[in-house]
Structure 1
Amino acid sequence: MADVSRLPWAINDHWDWQRHAACRGMNSEVFFHPDGERDPRRSERVEAAARICAGCAVREPCRDWARRVAEPYGVWGGEGEQERREHLAQARRGRTA
């Protein structure tokens, strides 16, 4: 589960970017894996979601939000779960190095 203690407070400015997301109103199954999904199906789904994100006007705020709260699930801002984990691990190593 995401660590909600790091979520920004509920001010519209923090969430307004979501209104402009390319994925708004789309089926969330494109962005979140069903139970038991494995490669190659999983990789194909993540790539399809990342293609949608690639043309999104709010890709960076979306990705940054998912990183900030260490969102463990889904594709956010074109970044899959594994990519986000790797980025967060690298950021932690950079802080401790």
Structure 2
Amino acid sequence: GAAMAIEDAATLADFVAASPADRWGALAAWEKLRRPRIAKVARRGAVNRFAWHAAGPVAVARNLFLKWRSPEKLAADLDWLYGWRPDTLQFSSST
């Protein structure tokens, strides 16, 4: 949650700075471009809640998966989340 708040603040500031005369337009464009990432992160959070708080057979399956998966592969699976950079969003008046 905190990381997403920082992302939101940084990217929104960039959008408003790029179009100070049209703050509402910048906000609408920012929201349109941020919404897919926010939804994807929320879905991943739901999966994590299920997996990390599981018990019984689900916990056994999770533990086996983690045991067999290399740390490099586990990190690569989350690169879309932790490797994201704000320069991947660009404001334009046509957005």
Which of the pair has more CA radius of gyration? 2
Per the TM superposition, whether the score is higher than 0.5 is: no
Q: What is the TM-score with the length of structure 1 in the denominator?
A: 0.27
Question: Which has a greater percent of helix?
Answer: 2
Q: What is the TM-score with the length of structure 2 in the denominator?
A: 0.27
